[in-house]
């Protein structure tokens, strides 16, 4: 980007449009944290005696807001706001990703950290929940600026992270390179190399085979299990996917290999459609080159709002929060929604889908494959002994299947949605650990 266009770029902490209330002051806007609190309220009646501890889940244990100043390439200084929230550490150290996005807020990071607590307990990995983020549009930064931002942020949150305290990982707009800078910064400050401080690292720095694909593989694994329960033949299924990065792209590839037809894909650049099924490997190549599905020659461009009504069996939202809401939930034709993203369905939409008999596989189990392989990476780093990819994938599939089937049984037993069932299992585990540990002092 030229210096001139940089100068014209919006200020990182740009105020909302005049007259518009910021979302956290708008009473009609529940927001991700409000949504999470509602989910906890829904599960409380199923927690028995443990419900006396439920308030623990409604308050993040620790929230850190940091100023992240960096020198831009043009010599000026820009300030960004960063966060790291540790929602709960009853079952182990905090664990969860770091996102770089222009819409990141404290309340969003709080909700994402809480969903990590639920997710980690749902697949029974020995972690609490945490999340971090910086309010920044990383597309407006050069590589050098991105590195300085990452390093300063890591230094600022260095007081609360560590291999035994809280272990960040990639999330929206962060990747193995960002994790390498985080690992290096933390290690430099410590005086020795600590590979276990972050997961999702490049393989040559203690990363794990299979980690990049793990979230998409987990989405596919639970999707196949659920399809079996509802008598849906995956090899004949029609699939639509929103978001075609690490999660949506990998899940689409695995479903296509199993015979499913991927008829529509949407991302930030547009929507492509092909009745006979898109060629997923070719579309992945196109995205690697152009960073969007838009312009893919072997498909038809359709309007973005038409995506939701495409006839399909399976819908995978794998982008951002709040994408399935009361305006589009009534149009969705899928039999099953697999939440690759975190928080893609608003509570109103959840109710509409349930009334219409659409099965929703909630984020807190559907996308737990990523953190499950993060756990494997952390274990491998500690033992300095690395497993082969077949072993990692086999262990991942075993954990995801067992967790999903336990959730399925709980949902049947209590006649509740899979989301509430996942919360029942996870909250019970967290609060049981909390009770065993007792209140200090």
Annotation marks residue 201 as catalytic: no
Cβ within 8 Å of residue 64, ≥6 positions away: 83, 84, 85, 157, 159, 160
Q: Is 422 in the site for ligand GLU (CB under 6 A)?
A: no
The C-alpha atoms of residue 396 and residue 379 are separated, in whole angstroms, by: 14
Of 250, 337, 371, 397, the residue at the interface with ligand GLU (CB under 6 A) is 371
Minimal distance, residue 199 CB to ligand GLU, in Å: 5
Nearer to ligand GLU, 31 or 96 (CB): 96
Listed ranges 241-249, 290-298, 352-360, 363-371: which one lies at the site for ligand GLU (CB under 6 A): 363-371
The C-alpha atoms of residue 241 and residue 160 are separated, in whole angstroms, by: 37
Residue 360, beta-bridge partner list: 337
DSSP for residue 345: B
Of 108, 171, 184, 313, the residue at the interface with ligand GLU (CB under 6 A) is 171
**Catalytic residue among 119, 131, 201, 253, which?**
131
The SS3 call for residue 157 is helix
Q: Is 223 in the site for ligand GLU (CB under 6 A)?
A: no
Helix or strand holding residue 145 (H, E): helix 143-157
Minimal distance, residue 106 CB to ligand GLU, in Å: 17
Nearer to ligand GLU, 245 or 299 (CB): 245
Q: What are phi and psi of 242, to 5 degrees?
A: -110, 120
Nearer to ligand GLU, 12 or 216 (CB): 216
Class of residue 164 by CB neighbours under 10 A (exposed 0-12, middle 13-18, buried 19+): exposed
Q: What are phi and psi of 5, to 5 degrees?
A: -70, -30
Of 185, 271, 374, 420, the residue at the interface with ligand GLU (CB under 6 A) is 374
Nearer to ligand GLU, 313 or 381 (CB): 381
Nearer to ligand GLU, 150 or 271 (CB): 150
The C-alpha atoms of residue 120 and residue 122 are separated, in whole angstroms, by: 5
Binders of ligand GLU in range 64-123 (CB under 6 A) = 95-97
What is the x/- site pattern for ligand GLU, positions 140-169, by CB under 6 A?
A: -----------------------------x
Neighbours of 416 (CB within 10 A): 19
The C-alpha atoms of residue 244 and residue 177 are separated, in whole angstroms, by: 20
Minimal distance, residue 110 CB to ligand GLU, in Å: 14
Contact predicate 358/419, CB 8 Å? no
Q: Is 321 in the site for ligand GLU (CB under 6 A)?
A: no
Binders of ligand GLU in range 190-219 (CB under 6 A) = 199-200
Neighbours of 294 (CB within 10 A): 16
Give catalytic residues, as residue numbers: 131
What does the binding site for ligand GLU look like in residue numbers (CB under 6 A)? 95-97, 169, 171, 199-200, 342, 367, 370-371, 374
């Amino acid at each position: 980007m030229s210096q001139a266009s940089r100068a014209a770029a919006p200020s990182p902490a740009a105020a909302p449009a005049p007259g518009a209330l910021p979302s956290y002051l708008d009473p009609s806007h529940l927001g991700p944290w409000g949504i999470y609190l509602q989910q906890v309220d829904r599960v409380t009646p199923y927690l028995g005696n443990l419900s006396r501890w439920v308030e623990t889940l409604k308050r993040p244990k620790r929230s850190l807001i940091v100023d992240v100043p960096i020198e831009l390439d043009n010599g000026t200084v820009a300030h960004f706001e960063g966060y790291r929230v540790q929602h709960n550490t009853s079952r182990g150290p905090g664990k969860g990703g770091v996102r770089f996005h222009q819409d990141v807020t404290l309340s969003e990071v709080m909700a994402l950290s809480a969903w990590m607590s639920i997710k980690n307990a749902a697949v029974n990995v020995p972690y609490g929940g945490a999340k971090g983020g910086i309010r920044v549009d990383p597309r407006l930064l050069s590589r050098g600026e991105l590195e300085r931002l990452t390093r300063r942020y890591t230094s600022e949150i260095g007081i609360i992270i560590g291999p035994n305290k809280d272990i960040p990982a990639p999330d929206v707009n962060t990747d193995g390179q960002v994790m390498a800078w985080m690992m290096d910064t933390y290690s430099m400050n410590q005086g020795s190399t600590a590979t276990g401080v972050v997961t999702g690292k490049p393989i040559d720095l203690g990363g794990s085979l299979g980690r990049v694909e793990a979230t998409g593989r987990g989405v596919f694994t639970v999707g196949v299990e659920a399809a079996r329960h509802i008598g849906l033949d995956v090899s004949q299924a029609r699939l639509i996917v929103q978001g075609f990065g690490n999660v949506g792209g990998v899940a689409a590839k695995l479903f296509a290999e199993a015979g499913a037809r991927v008829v529509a894909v949407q991302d930030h650049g547009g929507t492509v459609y092909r009745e006979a099924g898109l060629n997923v490997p070719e579309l992945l190549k196109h995205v690697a080159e152009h960073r969007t599905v838009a312009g893919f020659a072997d498909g038809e461009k359709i309007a973005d709002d038409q995506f939701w009504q495409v006839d399909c069996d399976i819908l995978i939202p794998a982008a951002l929060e709040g994408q399935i809401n009361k305006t589009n939930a009534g149009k969705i034709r899928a039999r099953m929604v697999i939440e690759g993203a975190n928080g893609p369905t608003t509570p109103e939409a959840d109710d509409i889908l349930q009334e219409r008999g659409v099965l929703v596989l909630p984020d807190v189990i559907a996308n737990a494959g990523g953190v499950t392989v993060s756990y494997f990476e952390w274990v491998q780093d500690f033992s300095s002994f690395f497993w082969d990819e077949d072993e990692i994938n086999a262990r991942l599939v075993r954990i995801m299947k067992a967790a999903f089937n336990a959730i399925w049984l709980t949902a049947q037993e209590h006649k509740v949605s899979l989301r509430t069932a996942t919360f029942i299992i996870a909250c019970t585990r967290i609060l049981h650990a909390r009770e065993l540990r007792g209140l200090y002092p």
